[in-house]
Amino acid sequence: SQTIHQWPATLVQPVGSPLSLECTVEGTSNPNLYWYRQAAGRGLQLLFYSVGIGQISSEVPQNLSASRPQDRQFILSSKKLLLSDSGFYLCAWSQGRRETQYFGPGTRLLVL
């Protein structure tokens, strides 16, 4: 069966510090991968998606970047965090662009 992992679960970082969140998927190959951000009590905002290694599409201009160095690994990064980067970050995968998405447990990021 397929599983998706995200770490860390919680992160508190100072403004201006770098960020690296990792997401890995097991039990499937060539998945579509997604990074979402969810503000408190709000819906999901799609940040990045990837249909293959090295292929990244950015949905909104921001302080963040994403990379996919391996088929089942998706990384969300920032060189310098802003206060507005605080939120709940969710990684998800799907087999096709229109199909069911399977979410990881999320990373809660607090930038102080």
Task: Report the C-alpha gap between 30 and 53 in whole angstroms.
Answer: 8
Q: Which of 44, 53, 62, 73 lies at the binding interface for another protein (CB under 8 A)?
A: 44
Length of the chain: 112
CB of 111 to another protein, least distance (A): 18
Residue 85 is classified by DSSP as G
Contacts of 88 (CB under 8 A, 6+ apart): 37, 38, 39, 40, 106, 107, 108, 109
Residue 60 is classified by DSSP as S
Binding mask 14-33 for another protein (x = CB under 8 A): --------------------
The reply on whether position 35 binds another protein by CB under 8 A is no
CB of 106 closer than 8 Å to CB of 7: no
CB of 48 to another protein, least distance (A): 11
CB of 106 to another protein, least distance (A): 5
In the window 48-107, what residues touch another protein (CB under 8 A)? 49, 88, 90, 92, 97-106
Write out the residues near another protein by the rule CB under 8 A: 36, 41-44, 46, 49, 88, 90, 92, 97-106, 108
